[in-house]
Chain A
Amino acid sequence: MVDAVLQPGCRYAEASAYWHPVMPTDADATDEALMLGYRDGDAAAFDVLYSRHKGGIYRFLLRQCRNAGLADELFQDVWMNLIRARAAYTVQAKFSTYLYRIAHNRLMDHFRRDDAGASLDDESVSIDEPAAPRSAEPEVSATSRQLAAQLLALLNDLPDEQREAFVLQQEGGLSVEEIAAATGVNRETAKSRLRYALAKLRQGMQAWQ
């Protein structure tokens, strides 16, 4: 039997599905254990969680709303929602699914409130992608950067739902089932969206090459 070191207040039953036998604040702890730790008052656990997911959530919002200023605002809202809901947190799904569902809901709220479903297709807004590369390896050649830029351009042309499915897979590492759970659709719909997105991107990249 594994000797799990439980944090005070961390219910083993809740975390059993995702429990990792380490202290929640360790870098190796699962997201779920970290969130349970934060729920029970461990602020350091939140820092680890935030560091893990901040980039993915930010890029997801940025890809979907295509406006850096708006993405900042939504990003802050998503994390504040998570912070406010911490007391009620229980492990019912993978944490990343839970977090991306919050982000999806926040996006939907924004579009509904502003009646701005059309803003996704507004050509005037632009993604202010920072110039700094994620990794500064020298082997990332100019050609691959051009290919990456082309991929992003193709991605922007995808329908919202297909783009969302692709970005959730890439940024959140979500499976088809988790994409379905995060976006509130059934599995077949999520799979279809993802397949269409990949097919169009492949086709676009073949044509470009």
Chain B
Amino acid sequence: MTPGSDREHDPQLAALYRAGTTAEPPAHLDDAIRAAARREVAAGPRRSVARRWAVPVSLAAVLVLSVSVVTMMREQGADRPESMSLPTPETPAAAMQSEIAEPPAAVAPQAAPKRRSAMPPPAVAPASPAAQAEAPALAPTPTLSGRSAETERGVTDSRAKAIAAESNRAEDPVVARREYATPQPMLRSAPAPMADAAGGAGVSASKPAAPVGALSAAPARTELWQDLVKEPAEKWIQRVAELRRAGQTADADALLAEFRRRFPDARLPDDLR
């Protein structure tokens, strides 16, 4: 018909095609689509369901967790009144220090502020600069700026001594035997309050997981793509492929449908078509 024309374009065929094909969409479709386009603009930027619920759900989860942790801590505190009446446990280093020998006079008051923040300040703290000048080595001011290099050195010395004493005790068979034979509840088995709190938090994170678990036990479909909302199309396709491989066909189909909704022009790999 047109032997001289381009192999990928034929004007005569194109003209014939245009003359022969006349179909147009029905008028009611035109109206419906234009109205939908206007509605979409009037509605403004739409937030996805996942985004809409992300903040309230996370707030609720934080609240539930916090309440559970506090409740658990209170319950554990009420269950053990005897532990509350016991004297405040010392840190292992300080306890060992008191066991072994009398520390130098300058070291004892320096180590005290390091033990616990709740402990009262040293009673011998000087009230005036004059007194401070009289006995600077005995009672340094407990402020951070007042911690001089000497004080730091003193604490370091005491720690070094404690560690050395500990290693000596471990090497001494008599002492080691006595330690294993005699239980030391305060130092070994009784947890420090902070450790207790940490343990309580650990328990409460696993124990009162029921409300949180209930949320995740019946996940909404939106959770399938909640973490993919801002990801590119490739990540979505990768997730769909993973779900398919894992045999979760329903989830894969749901994710694929959402993917289609968000990326209508994206190209799917052959195995997902």
Contacts and interface: CB of A to CB of B under 8 A. Distances in A.
Interface in A85-121: 85-88, 98, 101-102, 105-106, 108-109, 112
Nearest to B44: A41
Nearest to B263: A85
Contacts of A59: 21, 23
Given A85-B265, A130-B22, A202-B2, A191 B34 contact: no
Contacts of B8: 169, 176, 191, 194-195, 198
B265 A101 contact: yes
A152 interface: yes
29 contacts: A43-B37, A55-B23, A55-B24, A72-B29, A76-B29, A76-B33, A81-B261, A84-B261, A84-B264, A85-B262, A86-B40, A105-B264, A127-B23, A128-B23, A129-B21, A130-B23, A130-B24, A133-B19, A134-B19, A135-B19, A144-B16, A147-B19, A151-B17, A152-B17, A155-B17, A169-B8, A169-B9, A202-B13, A205-B13
Size category of the binding interface on chain B:
35 or more
B265 A79 contact: no
A87 B17 CA distance: 36
Contact of A148 (B17, B29, B45, B46): B17
A2 interface: no
A170 B18 CA distance: 8
B273 interface: yes
Nearest to B14: A170
Interface residues of A, number: 67
A123 B113 CA distance: 93
B34 A102 contact: no
Given A134-B18, A206-B1, A62 B37 contact: no
Contacts of B273: 108, 112
Interface of A: 38, 41-43, 46-47, 50, 54-55, 58-59, 62-63, 68, 72, 75-76, 79-88, 98, 101-102, 105-106, 108-109, 112, 127-135, 140, 144-145, 147-149, 151-152, 155, 169-170, 176, 184, 191, 194-195, 198-199, 201-202, 205-206, 209
B264 A55 contact: no
Contact of B37 (A46, A55, A129, A195): A46
B16 A50 contact: no
B234 interface: no
Interface of B: 1-2, 7-10, 13-14, 16-26, 29-30, 32-34, 36-38, 40-42, 45-46, 260-268, 273
A60 B111 CA distance: 85
A83 B45 CA distance: 12
A46 B35 CA distance: 11
Nearest to B270: A184
Most chain A CB within 10 A, of B2, B10, B41, B273, is at B41
B204 to A, nearest CB: 42
A202 B264 CA distance: 35
Contact of A83 (B13, B30, B40, B262): B40
A98 B19 contact: no
Nearest to B37: A46
A184 B22 contact: no
A125 B22 CA distance: 18
Given A88-B262, A98-B265, A198-B10, A148 B41 contact: no
B1 A202 contact: yes
Contacts of A140: 19
Contacts of A105: 260, 264-268
A47 B17 contact: no
A124 to B, nearest CB: 19
Of all A-B residue pairs in the complex, the 4 with the closest CB atoms, nearest first, are A148-B20, A81-B264, A46-B37, A184-B267
B41 A43 contact: yes
Contacts of A98: 265
A130 B21 CA distance: 9
A82 B264 contact: yes
B261 to A, nearest CB: 6
Contacts of A79: 33, 36-37
Contact of B36 (A80, A129, A131, A147): A80
